Amino acid sequence: MTDSDLKKIHIVFNGQDTPPLKISQLFDAKKFNRMTGVTGNITADFINQYLSKFIKLELALSTPENYDVKTGDDVITKVALTNALLAAANKKPAKVFEALTSDNQANVLNSLFQVSIAPTQAIHSRFYLLSNSETHDTRVILGSLNLDSSSFDAQQNQYEEILVFDNDIRLFQNLDSHYKNDIKPILRPFFTENLLKAAQEQIDESMKDAKGGKNAVVILDNEVTDQIAAADMTDLISHDVQKQIDENRIPAMITKTMRDITTNRSQAKEEAERQIQQHDTIYTLQKTAVSPRAAKPKLKSREKIYKQVQSALISGMTPQQRSAEKKYTTFLYDRPMERNLVNNNSGLYVPNDTGTHPIPFGKVATISQIRDGLKSIDAVLKGYQQYVVDYNDDYGKRFYEAILYSFTAPFLWEIRAKASLNPEDGNDIPNFLILGATAGSGKSTLLRIINQLTWNTDRSLIDFGTIYPTETPQKKAKTVDAIEHYMKLGSSYPVLMDEIEPYFFQQDQYSRHLVVDTMNELVNNPHAIAPLIGTTNYDSGFTMLRETARRTYYLQIDKVIDEQQKGEANKYIYNVRQTLNNTLFKDFVMRMASLLEDDDTPWRSFDEKTGKLDFLANTRKLFRDYYKMADIEVPPYFADEICDDFKESSRNRWAKLYLTQEEDFKYRQQDRSLLFDISKLNTFNGFTADSIEKYRNALPIELCVDGINGKRGKFVEIKADEFFNWIGERNPYSQSEPTVISEDTTTASSIEHPAKEQKKGFWARLFG
C-alpha cells in the first residue's frame, strides 16, 4: 500500500463515508453565509482563500494543551493567560491582521469578521457551525481539523477526522447555544481595540492621500506594534483578569496563584532543558542510523543500530554520574490500586532476590514478635538514656519521633493526599526529616538503626559528601541533582542521607530547588516521591531558609555521648543492633494500609497545644495499640505530638541576642516596633561571617513590620509586642505587663500591615 492510498483525511458526511471534499466545498460560502466556530489555529491565508465570502464570521481560538500543569489555577495562569500574553507579546494578532487582504481587514474593522481568545480559561473544543439566514440550512462540522492548510494536506503525515452533519437542527442548536451561553462570555477580541484603532488611523491617512480611493491595506511599523503589544498585555492583566474575577468566572484568589507562578520555575526550566537534550540525542540517533555516504541512504544493520542506541542512552552521563546514580539501591514501591488486604497485600512491593519481578511486602506479626520489636526499640532508647550527657525523656522523644517518621515514610504521599484540603495543607506533611545533631551525638548510628528497623540492613545510607569526589566541578549542584534523582526513581522508601552539609539548607539555589520545588510538586500532583531522612551537623549557628523550614520536619539532637563512656556505649549499641530486624515494620505497613483503605480514618488531626497538623497521629495510635497488645506500658519517651525544634532554636537565638545586646534594639513608639541594625552581626563583633543571614532566616516573617520587607536591608523592623511574647521576655515598653508565654503564639493573622508597593522593573525586550 502506498502513501497515497492511505485515507489520512477521513470524512464522514451525514453518517456515510465520502471521498475527500475540497475545502471550498466543506466551508461552502455559496450555500451558507454565516460561520461560527472554535478552532485550534487559523491563518490569514486560510481566511483570505476560503472564508472571505461569508458575510458574518465569528471564531474563537482554542488553547494549546499543556501536560505539565497540575491544578485548575495552573490552567488559568500557566496556560490560558500565559498563552494570551505570549500571543500579544509576539504580536501575533497584528501579524495575522496585516496578512489579511484589504477587504478582509475592512471586514474585521466593521465587525463582520470576529476572532476571539479566552484569556483565563482553556478551550480544547473544535467545532464549526455554518448557516444561511435566508434558507435556514445548517451544517455542523466536528473533528480534529484547524483552519489552516496543513489540516487538509494529505501529504502532511497526520490523520484528521471530519464529521459533517447537514440540517441536523437539534445538534446545530445545541452547539450554537453552548457557544453563545458558555464560551462567548469568557472571550475577548483577538484583534484588539488597540490594534483596530491603529489600523483605522492608518487607513484614514491612506484614504486622504488616495482622495477617496479603494480600501487601503494596513501594514504597521515596529514602533506601533510595540505600543499595541504593551497596551494589550496591560489590558489582559488589568482588565480581563479582573473582569472574570468580578463575574465569578475565575476564583478571586487567582491573584495569589499569579503571584506564586514562579515558585517552582527552576524545576520547569530544568525539565525543558532535559527535553532539549533528549531531542538532540534522538535526532542524532536517527541521523547515525542511516548510512552517511550512500547515494541512496539506507538504514544500518540492527546490530549497529542497537550499539548506537546503547551508546546514546549513556552519552549524556559521565562515569562519575553513572557511579553516583548507583549509590541508591533500596526500592520499595507503593501501589495503592493493587492493595488487597484480604490476600495480605499492603500495596507495597519490593524486587525479588534476583531482581526479576516485584513481590508484595508486609506480613502480619504475632504478639510475641510485636513485643520483641518494641523491646528492641526500648533497648535503643535505653542506650541513649545511659550514655548521653543530660539525657531526659523529652530529649528521648526526638529519637522515637524519627523512628515513627521512618515507619510512616512509604505512605506519606498517600497521607498527604487524604489530609490536604488544599495545596497549602500539603506542606504540613513534610517529605523531609532532618536530624540536626552535634558530633558525637549518635546521629549516624540512629540513621543505621532506622535502616535496620525498616529494611533489615544498615547498608542503605548514602554519605552526602561522597556522592561525588571532592575535585568534581560543580560538585554542590551535581550532588543536589543526584539526591533529586534518588527521590524520583518511583520508590517510596526514604533516601537515608548522612552528613548533609549546612550550605544545602542555607543557600537558596540548593534547598529551594530540592525541598520547596519537590513539595510543590507533591502537593499539586500526589505521587510517590521518596522522603529524605538526613543528618546534618548542628552547631549554635545552624539555620534554614524560611521556605525550606516550612516544608521540613526538623529534630534537634544536640546532646553528646559521654566521652568517658564512649567505649562502653559503642559496645552496648553494637550488641543491641545485632537484635534488630524489620518484623515490626512489616506488620506496621499492613495496619497502615488498612487505615488508608478505611474511608472513616481521620487524617486531619491537629495538636491542641500548637495547632499544627499531626501527620503522624495515626502512626502514634498504631504504636499505642502495639503496646496494649504486648501488655507493655507506654514509655515516657513516647512522642505524643509533633516536635518543632527549628522554631525553638530560632527563638532561643533571638532571645539570647536581645538579652545580651538589648541596647541595640531601638523602640519606635509610634509604630510599637523595634529596629535592629542587623549589620552589627559581623566578625568584628565576634559573630561568624554568615551570621546576618542566619539570624535573618531565623526571624519569623509574621513578626516583621511589612512582612518580608521588614527582614530585608540593614535595619530589621520587628513588631514589639509579638516579639517579646515570642522570646518569652517581659515587654519593657508595654503599659501593663503582658502574660509571658513560652510557646510560639504568633500567627499569620497577627497585626497586619499593608505591604509596601513594589517598584516596577524595566521591560526586557524579548519579543520582536
Of 82-96, 218-232, 366-380, 649-663, highest mean pLDDT:
366-380
Q: Which cell goes with 518?
A: 519537590
pLDDT in tens, 605-618: 887 776 778 999 99
- CB contact at 8 A, 419 and 544: no
Domain ranges of the chain: 9-258, 382-580, 646-727
* Residue 87: pLDDT over 60: yes
User: Using 50, 70 and 90 to split pLDDT, how confident is the model at 174?
Assistant: very high
Residues 6+ apart with CB under 8 A from 156: 8, 150
Element (DSSP H or E) covering residue 56: strand 56-61
Q: List phi, psi (to 5°) of 60.
A: -115, 140
Comparison of pLDDT for 210 and 347, the residue scoring more: 347
Phi-psi region of 221 (alpha: psi -120 to 50; beta: other; left: phi over 0): beta
Mean pLDDT within 126-137: 95
Give the pLDDT band of residue 100 (cuts 50, 70, 90).
very high
Q: Which of 92-96, 433-437, 627-631, 729-733 shows the lowest per-residue confidence on average (mean pLDDT)?
A: 729-733
pLDDT of residue 610: 67
> Which tens digit of pLDDT belongs to each residue from 487-530?
998 899 999 999 999 888 877 788 888 888 888 888 878 889 99
Closest CA relative to residue 26, chosen from 175, 172, 169, 164: 164
Q: Cα separation of 479 and 481, whole Å?
A: 5
pLDDT of residue 619: 98
pLDDT of the residue at 699: 83
CB of 715 within 8 A of CB of 677? yes
Using the predicted structure, report yes or no on whether residue 482 has a pLDDT greater than 60: yes
65's CB contacts (< 8 A; 6+ apart) are 124
User: pLDDT, tens digit, for every residue of 308-317?
Assistant: 888 877 766 6
Can you tell me whether residue 676 is helix, strand or coil? strand
Q: How far are the Cα atoms of 654, 700, 736, 747, 753 from residue 674, in angstroms, in the given order?
A: 13, 14, 18, 19, 15
Residue 758 has pLDDT above 50, yes or no: no
Question: One fold for both 382-580 and 646-727?
Answer: no
Q: Measure the CA–CA gap between 545 and 548, rounded to whole angstroms.
A: 5
Q: Specify the fold of 9-258.
A: Endonuclease; Chain A (3.30.870)
* C-alpha neighbours within 13 Å on the C-beta side of residue 104: 22
Q: Which residues pair with 17 in a beta bridge?
A: 12
pLDDT score recorded for residue 210: 60
Compute the distance between CA of residue 140 and CA of residue 172 in angstroms, rounded to an integer. 6
pTM greater than 0.85: no
DSSP 3-state helix, strand, coil percentages of the chain (rounded to 5)?
Answer: 50, 15, 40
Please identify, in words, the CATH class of the domain defined by 382-580. alpha beta
- Whether 11 contacts 27, CB under 8 Å: no
Q: Mention every residue, 6+ apart, whose C-beta is less than 8 A from residue 695.
A: 543, 653, 654, 657, 678, 681
Alpha carbon distance 313, 33 (integer Å): 56
Phi then psi for residue 391, to 5 deg, are -65, 140
Range with the largest mean pLDDT of 356-365, 605-614, 675-684: 356-365
Count Cβ neighbours within 10 Å for each residue of 732-746 and write b for 16 or more, e otherwise: eeeeeeeeeeeebeb
Encode 228-239: b = buried (16+ Cβ within 10 Å), e = exposed: bbebbbebbeee
Provide Rg for the chain, Cα atoms. Answer: 33
**Which DSSP category does 290 fall into?**
B
Indicate the residue type of 733. Y
pLDDT value of position 267? 66
| 416 neighbors 632 (Cβ within 8 angstroms) | no
Q: CB–CB of 446/490 below 8 Å?
A: no
Report the CATH architecture of 646-727. Orthogonal Bundle (1.10)
Which ranges of 236-289 does DSSP label H, i.e. alpha helix? 242-246, 254-259, 265-288
Using the CB atoms, write b or e for 408-433: b if 16+ within 10 Å: bbbbbbbbbbbbbeebeebbbbbbbb
CA nearest to 486, candidates 506, 460, 455: 460
Cell of 1: 500500500
Beta strands 56-61 and 9-13: pairing type?
unpaired
Pairing of strands 188-189, 333-334: unpaired
N residues, the chain: 768
Residue 767 pLDDT > 60, yes or no? Answer: no
Name the region of 193 (left: φ>0; alpha: ψ -120 to 50; beta: rest): alpha
Q: Exposure of 660 by Cβ count < 10 A (0-12 exposed, 13-18 middle, 19+ buried)?
A: exposed
Angle at 66 between CA 63 and CA 71, to 5 degrees: 105
3-state secondary structure of 543: coil
